[in-house]
């Protein structure tokens, strides 16, 4: 058997007024996803357990077959695994966004999708000015970075993802709880260091959003995840441009396949991801392909871009992988978003997401298209999302 999991991040949505109260999935031209749903099994799954935040970290942990209620420790340590940052048992890893503020509000959670080169310069400055034996900053792609705390202060706080509160006051969304004052102080000191930096002066001259503050969130300690091969008996690999996905893959013993042109944004090379996925099936039992673009489009409220991303995923990723059944008769495919991302609100939301299972030994025929509304017409609902992978592989 060969298995492929395709995750267009944040593809599910609510009805959009601008689309005549239809969702982007209902409007998009996606013949391959629709074929998979019609010829295969269509259903709904809850990837975000009750009382957990609807982020990709929690949702994709469910998708790959691990119960986040028992195993999730935070987003930061998952990204640390991809970045090669070793965490001791008492170390804390925080996701560190470079953001734009106007002094009062969070203007842009991504600092205008700052370039890797510019970001690396700013992270180096932060290490020089704020780094110590206890604190270190680690550069990632664009606005996505890491802060590691190796101090003795006990931490027990709640933090907020900046993409969930863009446009809101900084003061209303700062960390809360034990150790929060220490983290807030770092964030405020970063603003004084970054705001007047040459990189940001140039960005302003070019009418680009400056990266004039850090936002720390997603804190956690190193998780203990059972190897996927031990859990399910198959060898896996992941294709993604996102640290979070790659880190999670490494922690469960998967290989990570780097694809030239994959950017984790709207300009990603969809066709390259499709080609690399088909090629990877020659070597691996299971290949996961993650595409961030639909989620990014929703966060910036661009409904046209979200529809375009869905159509490109269908044409360049889903289509070629479905065609690979000509090479591997025993190929089974799972297509699903990780969570709902509202293009009108620009937020992740909790709720059931549609999934379609197609290929070898999938006997159900839904005769329905791949949309949220059609999936809701079926009687297939998995309330515990982490059980779907078990069914996908073993049933």
> What 3 state SS string does the chain have?
CEEEEEEECCEECCCEHHHCCECHHHHCCCHHHHHHHHHCEEEEECCCCCCCCCCHHHHHHHHCCCCHHHHCCCHHHHHHHHHCCCCCCCCEEEEEEEEEECCCEEEECCCCCCCHHHHHHHHHHHHHHHCCCCEEEECCCCCEEEEEECCCCCCEEECCCHHHCCCCECHHHCCEEECHHHHHHHHHHHHHHHCCCHHHHHHHHCCCCCCCEEEEEEEECCCCCCCHHHHHCCCEEEECCCHHHHHHHHHCCCEEECCCCCCCCCCCCHHHHHHHHHHHCCCCCEEEEEECHHHHHHHCCCHHHHHHHHHHHHHHHHHHHHHHHHCCCCEEEEECCCCEEECCCCEEECCCEEEEEEECCCCCCCCCCCCHHHHHHCCCEECCCCHHHHHHHHC
Instruction: Specify whether the CB–CB gap between 225 and 249 falls below 8 A.
Output: no
CATH code where residue 278 lies = 3.40.720.10
The pLDDT of residue 65: 98
Is the domain of 283 the same as that of 202?
A: no
Q: Are 58 and 134 part of one and the same domain?
A: no
Confidence check: pLDDT of 154 > 90:
no
Q: Which two tokens stand for residue 345?
A: 């609100």
If asked whether residues 270 and 364 sit together in one domain, one would say: yes
The 10s digit of each residue's pLDDT in 100-118 is 999 999 999 999 999 999 9
pTM confidence score: 0.91
**In 3D, which of 386, 102, 97, 372 has the Cα closest to residue 214?**
97
Residue 141 lies in a domain: yes
Of 178, 196, 220, at which residue does a domain stop?
A: 220
Tell me if 77 is assigned to some domain: no
Same domain, yes or no: 202 and 276: no
Q: Are residues 275 and 131 in the same domain?
A: no
Q: What are the distances in angstroms from CA 260 to CA 257, 264, 266, 320, 392?
A: 10, 12, 15, 18, 29
154 closest CA partner among 221, 245, 229: 221
Number of structural domains in the chain: 2
Rounded to whole angstroms, how far apart are CA atoms 57 and 74? 8
**pLDDT at 149 (0 to 100):** 97
Instruction: Assess if residue 206 is contained within a domain.
Output: yes
Domain stop point among 177, 197, 220? 220
Residue listed under structure tokens 């673009």:
293
Is 67 among the domain residues?
A: yes
Both 377 and 257 in one domain: the answer is yes
Instruction: Give the pLDDT band of residue 152 (cuts 50, 70, 90).
Output: confident
Mean pLDDT of 312-339: 97
Asked if 310 and 23 count as a contact pair (C-beta separation under 8 A), the reply is: no
Residues 231 and 201 in one domain: no
Beta bridge partners of 332: 3, 359
Residues 230 and 353 in one domain: yes
Q: Are 327 and 284 members of one domain?
A: yes
Could you count the other beta carbons within 10 Å of the beta carbon of residue 243? 22
- What is the pLDDT averaged over residues 157-177? 95
376 shares a domain with 248: yes
The pLDDT score that the predictor gives to residue 155 is 92
Q: Span 138-158, mean pLDDT?
A: 93
Q: What is the pLDDT of residues 37-91, one digit of tens each?
A: 999 999 999 999 999 999 999 999 999 999 999 999 999 999 999 999 999 999 9
Average pLDDT estimate for 361-374: 96
Listed residues 160, 194, 220: the one ending a domain: 220
And the tokens for 112?
């205008």
pLDDT of res. 189: 97
Q: Mean pLDDT in the chain?
A: 96
Decide if pLDDT at 1 tops 90.
Answer: yes
Number of other CB atoms surrounding residue 365 within 10 Å? 12
Instruction: Judge whether residue 244 has pLDDT over 90.
Output: yes
Give the separation between CA 138 and CA 147, rounded to whole angstroms. 6
Mean pLDDT of 147-161: 93
If asked whether residues 51 and 184 sit together in one domain, one would say no
Residues 6+ apart with CB under 8 A from 395: none
367 assigned to some structural domain: yes
* Domain-located, residue 248: yes
pLDDT of residue 395: 78
CA distance 131 to 344: 39
- Across residues 160-188, what is the average pLDDT? 95
Same domain, 262 and 384: yes
* pLDDT of res. 188: 97
pLDDT tens column, 191-215: 999 999 999 999 999 999 999 999 9
Q: Mind listing the pLDDT tens digit for each residue in 211-242?
A: 999 999 999 999 999 999 999 999 999 999 99
Query: Which residues form the domain of 137?
Result: 82-220
Given this model, what pLDDT does residue 261 score?
96
Domain assignment of residue 352, yes or no: yes
- pLDDT at position 28 is 98
């Amino acid at each position: 058997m060969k298995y492929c999991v395709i995750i267009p991040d944040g593809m599910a949505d609510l009805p959009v007024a601008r689309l005549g109260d239809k969702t982007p999935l209902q409007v998009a031209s996606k013949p391959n996803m629709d074929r998979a749903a019609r010829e295969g099994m269509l259903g709904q799954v809850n990837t975000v357990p009750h009382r957990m935040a609807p982020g990709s970290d929690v949702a994709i942990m469910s998708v790959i077959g691990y119960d986040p209620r028992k195993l999730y420790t935070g987003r930061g340590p998952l990204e640390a695994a991809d970045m090669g940052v070793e965490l001791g048992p008492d170390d804390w890893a925080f996701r560190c966004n470079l953001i734009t503020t106007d002094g009062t509000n969070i203007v842009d959670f991504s600092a205008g999708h700052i370039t890797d080169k510019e970001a690396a310069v700013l992270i180096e400055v932060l290490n020089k000015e704020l780094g110590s034996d206890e604190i270190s900053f680690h550069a990632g792609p664009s606005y996505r970075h890491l802060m590691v705390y190796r101090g003795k202060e006990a931490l027990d706080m709640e933090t907020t993802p900046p993409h969930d509160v863009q446009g809101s006051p900084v003061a209303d969304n700062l960390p809360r709880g034990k150790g929060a004052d220490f983290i807030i102080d770092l964030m405020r000191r970063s603003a004084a260091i970054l705001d007047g930096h040459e990189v940001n002066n140039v960005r302003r001259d070019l009418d680009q959003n400056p990266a004039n503050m850090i936002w720390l969130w997603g804190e956690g300690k190193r998780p203990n995840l059972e190897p996927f091969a031990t859990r399910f008996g198959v060898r896996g690999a992941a294709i993604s441009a996102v640290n979070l996905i790659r880190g999670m893959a490494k922690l469960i013993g998967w290989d990570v396949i780097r694809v030239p042109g994959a950017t984790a944004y709207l300009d990603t090379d969809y066709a390259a991801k499709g080609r690399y996925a088909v090629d990877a099936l020659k070597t691996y039992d299971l290949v996961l392909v993650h595409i961030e673009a639909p989620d990014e489009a929703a966060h910036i409220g661009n409904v046209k871009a979200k529809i375009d991303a869905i159509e490109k995923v269908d044409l360049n990723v889903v289509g070629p992988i479905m065609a690979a059944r000509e090479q591997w008769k025993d190929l089974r495919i799972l297509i699903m978003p990780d969570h709902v991302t509202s293009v009108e609100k620009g937020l992740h939301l909790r709720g059931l997401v549609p999934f379609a299972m197609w290929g070898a030994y999938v006997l159900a025929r839904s005769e329905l298209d791949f949309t949220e509304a059609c999936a809701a017409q079926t009687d297939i609902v998995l309330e515990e999302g982490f059980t779907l992978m078990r069914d996908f592989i073993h049933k």
